[in-house]
């Protein structure tokens, strides 16, 4: 027996036999070709075949997993049609006389690097989608057929280096009971799919494919991040008991779906969802979310070959607002720039793009683009409770500038006699330390704050969390981060009809829930699947006790000390973390 520890990607405990899934290694022809036209024909045939395969997979995914998962393969089909991808491959073939397979690999790797290096983990995780599409085209050019996971004879835990959307969409969902992979993160596709299937997954195990054999008995513990290979009778008995305890806990969570997130002594907070597109709304509703705390509108732009017009944006915003007639829908204005670029919006390379022309700064430069989005949001606002949120705000001057442009849009709509909510709420992301420190000043111009802990941590601690050499310094529990959060929530407490939410990853972290509650957070916005557990935690504590825990944490010296303290506090409440 041996035990390995990795990254918790999806909670739960499963005991089953291992199935090591090894992919065929694709070797491309690196020799120069004499007939580029023939290679282009190969490429175009592979594109056509890939389209046919993706449509079959998309229909299967919708049938088994729902519209949200099916949409992944619509996005894959868009990559096949992307002029930058297609023309890039054809240019490599014509200009450099490369083989079709070599050209596809080069262009795929180029796209992969762009996405993989993006600072936002949601976007960097999309690199796997690019790789999946490119691999499919490569295999179709070379006539390679991968191992079949669609028909399995027994329950298994899939052991792999990584899993692509195509792998997971076609696997036998009734037989696959868990994942364990060498690489991956909580925002990778493997993690997202595992949570969608509600099966345990532990990722980032480095060499699990080399240390486990097909047929080995395994335990994947998605509660602690451990995998146990060939456990003895004593270990099996322990994990069977832990599994049953967790199943009982899940039943409790199901019963909370339609209940308020309210503490034992009456403090009520709102639990809402983070989404990237309208298809994500179903998951928020299913898990009891009462609204949207972060609508990442950049997906509208990144999933389009041309700048999305006002009508397209209006339709998307309206559909989300109509899904939550009684709850808030916070729409973040375009957050592009830095590591996220659009093929149809030329931008200069910058020495330090994360401190450069991005988000609200880009919108000030591209006012026409900004106004199209603001007009679309305003027009959609009559269909629900729209809140407009400006990202990357560093001072009150920027807030006033953004509001002036918003007012121009309102004046235009008035002149055109087009209806909109004249009392639409306006807020800002607090993700730059200067904004947190000056929260009391900025609050004079807005109706709400939403703390973006991902960037707030990076900018405050001067650490690139995607850089493995320094990522250990990225710590949301660092006392400096907690004190900045307290500064922001303290401002909110002093103002009537004002609220402070959080839409960074920390808001959906069970370990942080009591701490953030005690710091005075009014709204928690997170991935849909995190909502039930956070609700359970909030309904299990007294607000006064949470405040005492937060006060004690603020007087501690290190993030590690704070985490240990909160963990002990959670254990006393018998809550899973």
DSSP string, 445-487: G-SEEEE-HHHHHHHHHT--TT-TTTGGG--TTSHHHHHHHHH
Helices and strands: H and E segment counts in the chain: 24, 17
Tokens 């792998």 sit on residue:
167
- The kind and range of the H/E element at 332 are strand 328-332
Tens digit of each residue's pLDDT (9 = 90 or more) over 265-300 = 999 999 999 988 898 898 899 899 999 999 999 888
Query: Is 363 considered catalytic here?
Result: no
Q: Which of 76, 189, 385, 387 is catalytic?
A: 189
Catalytic, 503? Answer yes
Give the model's pLDDT for residue 65: 62
Q: Which long-range contacts (CB under 8 A, 24 or more apart) does 46-49 make?
A: 46/100, 46/104, 46/137, 46/138, 46/140, 46/141, 47/80, 47/86, 47/137, 49/140
pTM of the complete model beyond 0.85? no
pLDDT score, position 12: 92
Distance CA 191, CA 42 (A): 34
Residue located via tokens 């992969």: 112
Shortest CA distance to 392 belongs to which of 382, 402, 383? 402
Asked if 423 and 464 count as a contact pair (C-beta separation under 8 A), the reply is no
Q: What is the pLDDT of residue 149?
A: 82
- Exposed / middle / buried, residue 2 (Cβ in 10 Å: 0-12, 13-18, 19+): exposed
Residue 467 — left, alpha, or beta (φ > 0 → left; ψ -120 to 50 → alpha)? beta
Give me 119's structure tokens. Answer: 């600072």
pLDDT of 38 reads 94
Task: Please name each of the domains of the chain with its CATH number.
Answer: 2-23+147-233 (3.50.30.10), 36-142 (1.10.274.10), 267-572 (3.20.20.60)
Residue recorded with tokens 């832990």? 242
Categorise residue 516: left if φ over 0, alpha if ψ from -120 to 50, beta otherwise: alpha
pLDDT of residue 436: 97
Catalytic option among 228, 409, 457, 503: 503
pLDDT in tens, 326-357: 999 999 999 987 656 677 787 777 777 778 88
Residues of the chain with pLDDT under 70: 63-69, 119-126, 165, 169, 187, 189, 196, 338-341, 465-468, 575-577
Residue 420: per-residue pLDDT: 98
Q: pLDDT value at position 340?
A: 63
Note the pLDDT of residue 566: 93
CA-to-CA distance for 488 and 434, rounded, in angstroms? Answer: 11
Predicted local confidence at residue 68, as pLDDT: 61
């Amino acid at each position: 027996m041996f035990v390995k520890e990795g990254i918790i990607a999806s909670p739960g405990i499963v005991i089953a036999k291992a199935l090591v899934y090894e992919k065929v290694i694709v070797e491309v022809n690196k020799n120069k070709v004499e007939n580029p036209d023939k290679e282009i024909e190969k490429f175009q045939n592979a594109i056509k075949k890939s389209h046919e395969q993706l449509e079959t997979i998309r229909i299967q995914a919708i049938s088994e997993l729902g519209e949200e998962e099916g949409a992944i393969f619509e996005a894959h089909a868009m990559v096949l049609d992307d002029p930058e991808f297609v023309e890039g491959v054809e240019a490599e073939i014509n200009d450099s006389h490369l083989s079709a397979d070599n050209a596809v690999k080069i262009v795929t790797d180029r796209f992969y690097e762009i996405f993989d290096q993006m600072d936002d983990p949601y976007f960097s995780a999309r690199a796997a989608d690019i790789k999946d599409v490119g691999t499919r085209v490569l295999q179709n050019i070379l006539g390679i057929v991968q191992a079949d996971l669609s028909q399995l004879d027994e329950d298994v835990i899939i052991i792999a280096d990584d899993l692509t959307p195509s792998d997971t969409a076609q696997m036998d969902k009734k037989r696959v009971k868990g994942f364990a992979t060498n690489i991956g993160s909580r925002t990778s596709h493997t993690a997202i799919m595992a949570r969608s299937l509600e099966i345990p997954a532990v990722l980032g195990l480095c060499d699990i494919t080399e240390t486990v054999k097909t047929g080995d008995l395994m335990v994947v513990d998605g509660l602690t991040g451990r995998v146990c290979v060939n456990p003895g009778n004593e270990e099996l008995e322990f994990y069977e008991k832990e599994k049953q305890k967790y199943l009982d806990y899940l039943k409790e969570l199901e019963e909370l779906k339609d209940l308020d997130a309210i503490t034992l002594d009456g403090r009520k907070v709102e639990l809402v969802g983070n989404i990237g597109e309208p298809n994500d709304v179903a998951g928020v509703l299913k898990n009891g979310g009462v609204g949207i705390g972060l609508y990442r509108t950049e997906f509208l732009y990144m999933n389009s070959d041309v700048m999305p017009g006002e009508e397209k944006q209006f339709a998307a915003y309206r559909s989300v607002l109509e899904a939550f007639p009684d709850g808030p829908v916070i729409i973040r204005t375009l957050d592009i720039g830095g590591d996220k670029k659009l093929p149809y919006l030329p931008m200069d390379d910058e020495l330090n793009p994360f401190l450069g022309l991005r988000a609200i700064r880009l919108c000030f430069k591209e006012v026409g683009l900004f106004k199209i989005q603001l007009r679309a949001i305003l027009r959609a606002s009559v269909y629900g409770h729209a809140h407009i949120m400006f990202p990357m705000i560093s001072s009150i001057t920027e807030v006033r500038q953004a509001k002036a442009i918003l007012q121009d849009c309102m004046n235009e709509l008035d002149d055109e006699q087009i209806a909109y909510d004249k009392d639409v709420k306006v807020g800002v992301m607090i993700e730059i330390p200067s904004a947190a420190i000056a929260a009391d000043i900025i609050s004079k111009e807005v109706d709400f704050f939403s703390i973006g802990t991902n960037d707030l941590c990076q900018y405050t601690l001067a650490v690139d969390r995607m850089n493995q050499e320094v990522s250990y310094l990225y710590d949301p529990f660092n006392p400096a981060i907690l004190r900045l959060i307290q500064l922001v929530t303290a401002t909110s407490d002093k103002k009537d009809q004002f609220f402070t939410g959080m839409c960074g990853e920390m808001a959906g972290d069970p370990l942080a829930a009591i701490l953030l509650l005690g710091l005075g957070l009014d709204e928690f916005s997170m991935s849909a699947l995190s909502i039930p557990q956070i609700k359970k935690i909030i309904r299990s504590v007294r607000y006064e006790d949470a405040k005492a825990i937060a006060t004690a944490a603020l007087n501690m010296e290190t993030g590690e000390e704070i985490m240990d303290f909160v963990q002990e506090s959670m254990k006393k409440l018998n809550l899973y973390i």
